[in-house]
Amino acid sequence: MNRQNRLWLIVPAVCFLGFGSLAEGQAPEANPAATSPAPVAEPPLHQRIDALLLPGQEGLGIAEVAPAPLIRRLYLDLIGVPPTLAQLQNYLADPAPEKYSNLVSQLLKSPEFVEHWVKQLDLMLMERRANSHVPQEAWEDFLRSSLASGQPFHQLCASILAADGRPGPARPSARFYLDRAGDPNLITRDVGRIFFGRDLQCAQCHDHPLIDSYYQSDFQGIAAFFSGGYMVEVADGDKKVQVYGEKSIAESPFESVFHKGESHRSLPRIPGLPEIAPPSAEPGSDYEIAPAEGVAAKPKHSRRKQLADLTTSGAATAFSQNWANRFWSLIFGRGVIHPVDLIHAENDPVHPDLLPILGKALADSQFDLRSFLRELVMTRVYRSGQSDPWDRTDTAVLKQIVSQMDWKKRVTDSKAIWEQAKVEGDALAEQFENTKSELAAIEKERTALLTALDQAKAATLAAIDAANKVGVEVAASQKALADEQAKQAKLQAASTASAEVKTLLPQDAEVAKAAETLQQRLDASNAAITTLQNALQEKQKAHATALAAVEPPKMNWKVADQNVAAKQLQYAQIDQRTTLARETYERALMRAASLKKQMQLAEKMVVLGDSLQSIGASEAALAGYMTSRQQLATMMEGVNTALTGIDQQIAQTAKEKEQADEQVRVYGQRMTESLGKKKLLVDAVDSLAKVPESPSDVLKAAQQELTQRIQQADAQMSELTKQSQVAQEAAVAVQGRLADMQKNRVVQVESLSKIKMQQQELDANVAKVEQQRLASVGLSGRTLEEIREQRRQRFEYSKLVALSPEQFAWSLLSVTGFVERQVAARVADLDKNSPLTEEQKKDEALLNQRRIQTYLQARKELQGNVNVFVSLYGAGPGQPQGDFFATADQALFANNGGVIYSWAGANSDNVTAKLANTQDIAEGAKILYLAVLGREPTAIEIEELSQYLNQAPDKRAALAQEVVWSLLTSAEFRFNH
């Protein structure tokens, strides 16, 4: 059986994937990941994925892509560039049965993997935003060290989410916030999109207008994590940098623009989880670093830290599912739910159970990116055949595929299931609505309490502030007293000393004066001390009062705080219930959406089947018409032949009739002549009879002669009459024949026009049926296109994903040998500058470290070449970077930019040089296609290459360059497939 036939056997099973799970979907537990108890030994993730997406396919073998193209796909996905010729050849020659799995492990360990995924993460997290605060290199170093060390991915996310960017080694981790300028709305939107897969931008000011399951409170819940965030300038050595500090502030109230006057407060909440209760932080002692000029504040209870902790707790399924979906989309070309930042109940997934399973597996692996990716590329879905078999089908095969199932029954059945799901969904919706209104009611109460708490906090802070002010005065007073006391001590000492001197020199007036002065000073100081002591006492009393005055508001605050806490307990219960009700409801919605899609697919299959039938019927009818047309044409030909014969006969007969008529006329004339002659004779006889004298003999003889002549004339006449009668009869006969012929002709002409009418009728029918056929062809074409699109979205045939600008540039540089050469040069440098000892040459770790070092250096050297591709092939800053576009200026660059063409030139022993130097064209073709496109050439391609290179055998190198350019700019190179 040839390959194509083999495919057909697989297609019917493959194309109805969705339906395999219909029965499962009916089970009440639609989400095994969330509901089933941990199984004892779960099969590996890749098998579970295959079981879900390819039900009943075990052992049947979905057409697996050939080894070489599969390896190209794998290299591009894991390390961003296609395999080199040597790598590919080694793999193909490797006899080990587990070589694919080995290769996956090897690639995941490589420095190239780290570099590729640094870029992938950078593009997802920063979307080519400008480096206003953190240089790209520092940011990539931060990502690189995480990826290289194998840090669990959620810990990387946590460090990004908790960052504030204060000067120090961790500053680059704050790039997510800093290069979004600390803007609260942008950060809320992008945290929602990038970390939780939900673009809530349109839910900022009201519930989302188009997506029912995006609520304003979802946006506000994320926003609440950032309500204290602010940009502040701090010193970093001798320069100033911006830092994303955090203040400890209360929830900012919000209201819907559609429901003005209803104020709400959202505490921090991430999608799918209940709110986080505010920590009880006594006013005035809630900062680790208090806000001040040039200082980035840091509260004791950082909201950002809470967010970071939530993501590492494993409880946040929205977080793990988002990243599972994003990693999946990088490997498969589109998300399980797509677009990846529009995860919501009505955006139906490939399979309703798939994302929960993936998310849980990612979380269970402790967010080990490598092991997760490994499972994805180990699936048979990933390794499936390349192109769409439906593209090559003809009507007969399609009909066969469609007829393998009773699609009309499918529609009825799936419609029933869907409607049932909708009914269930409606019930769940009601439950959800009920608990939501309960929550809304208690939220109103809580909002009042929170407002009271705010007021109490403000009052407490004011009292603390006042007390602090008095405290400052007390301190000043204490200082004044202490100063005075110090002075007094000195005076006391001096005075005592002078008194002693005075006793020794009793006569010395000056000494006496001095002693007296000192005593006076001492007295004054003592007096001042008393005053100061009194003042201090006053102040201290005032301070005590002020401090006491803090207590009542603080008590109020405590009461308010307890009130809030008590209310919060009630709230949390209902919140929990609401969250659960919402989850259940949305899962039902998602399932209903999925069922609806399946029903629609069945409907499309019916439409396809019907239109194929109709095409068949039209074609049959057209064929029938063709036969009839043939018959009519034959008949027409017969009639026309007959008519021609008749016309000839008529002409002949007419001629005969003319002759007969002539005959009649001739006889008539001769009879007239004969009659005339007889009349003359009779007249002559009559004249003779009138002669008076007796007839002489002569006369008698004449009379006799005349009579005889008359008798002769009579005889002649009678003869002529006889002949004339014959001629007349003949003429009548001819006339009769002619009339018959003309009658016959009329009959034939009539039958001719009848045939023509039949032909016209036939033509009209043909036109009608042809129109029907065209309509059916159009309908089936469109339907087939829709079915194909749906199947593509279900990963039923291999992906087709454009290389990212970086991937494209690096792939070009790699395939044309630049990377290899640059690495070799760096290795040579290193070996020359710091040669290895024999001992070191055995040190695997050292060798590996040198390999990484030289690879990174080589990349750095070549990086400049990549930037031009980024500006041409990359999407704009702040836009999603995964969307493909192709513009004329890209093609113009490929054609005329000179860059790709010059790279395609022969250089040391790169592919072009090899092709130019290989005499055997088949061998050269093999090198060319393996090196550039990662596969063997076909016979046609070898033939084409041969023709190409033989155009000018003396210019082999130039022609080789052209050919390599052609393949580098081809679709096959531009896409990962």
Residue closer to other proteins by CB (options 673, 889) is 889
**Burial track 287-308 (b if 16+ CB lie within 10 A, e otherwise):** beeebeeeebbbbebbbbbbbb
- CB of 971 vs other proteins, minimal distance in Å: 5
Residue closer to other proteins by CB (options 640, 895) is 895
CA distance 356 to 318: 9
Give one DSSP letter per residue of 200-252, joined into a string.
-GGGSSSS-SS-TT--HHHHHHHHGGGTTEEEEEEEETTEEEEEEEE---PPP
Structure tokens at 874: 């990359």
Token match 């003999």: residue?
A: 697
CA distance 257 to 495: 81
Beta strands in 677-731 (DSSP E): none
The residues with which 230 forms a beta bridge, in sequence order, are 245
Residue closer to other proteins by CB (options 339, 645) is 339
Q: Cα dist. 234→237, 244, 273, 297, 300 in Å?
A: 10, 10, 36, 11, 20
CB 177 within 8 A of CB 296: no
Residue closer to other proteins by CB (options 472, 971) is 971
Residue closer to other proteins by CB (options 63, 858) is 63
Residue closer to other proteins by CB (options 293, 883) is 883
Residue closer to other proteins by CB (options 732, 891) is 891
- CB of 395 vs other proteins, minimal distance in Å: 5
- CB of 941 vs other proteins, minimal distance in Å: 8
CA distance 467 to 461: 10
- CB of 800 vs other proteins, minimal distance in Å: 6
- CB of 8 vs other proteins, minimal distance in Å: 14
- CB of 326 vs other proteins, minimal distance in Å: 15
DSSP type of residue 798: -
Residue closer to other proteins by CB (options 302, 969) is 969
CA distance 935 to 967: 12
Residue closer to other proteins by CB (options 56, 877) is 877
Question: Which of 863, 850, 974, 878 has the alpha carbon at shortest distance from 118?
Answer: 863
- CB of 945 vs other proteins, minimal distance in Å: 9
- CB of 891 vs other proteins, minimal distance in Å: 4
Question: Which of 262, 279, 277, 181 has the alpha carbon at shortest distance from 216?
Answer: 262
Give one DSSP letter per residue of 332-367, joined into a string.
HSS-SSSSTTB--TTS--SSTTHHHHHHHHHHHTTS
Instruction: Go through the chain and tell me how many residues it has.
Output: 977
CA distance 514 to 520: 10
Residue closer to other proteins by CB (options 387, 540) is 387
- CB of 342 vs other proteins, minimal distance in Å: 6
Q: Return phi, psi of residue 328, to 5°.
A: -55, -45
Q: Cα dist. 189→200, 201, 250, 879 in Å?
A: 6, 6, 21, 13
Cis peptide before 28 (omega within 30 of 0): no
**How far from each other are the two terminal CA atoms of the chain, in whole angstroms?**
26
- CB of 777 vs other proteins, minimal distance in Å: 5
- CB of 972 vs other proteins, minimal distance in Å: 4
Residue closer to other proteins by CB (options 390, 418) is 390
Residue closer to other proteins by CB (options 493, 891) is 891
- CB of 779 vs other proteins, minimal distance in Å: 9
CA distance 346 to 422: 12
Structure tokens at 535: 């003042």
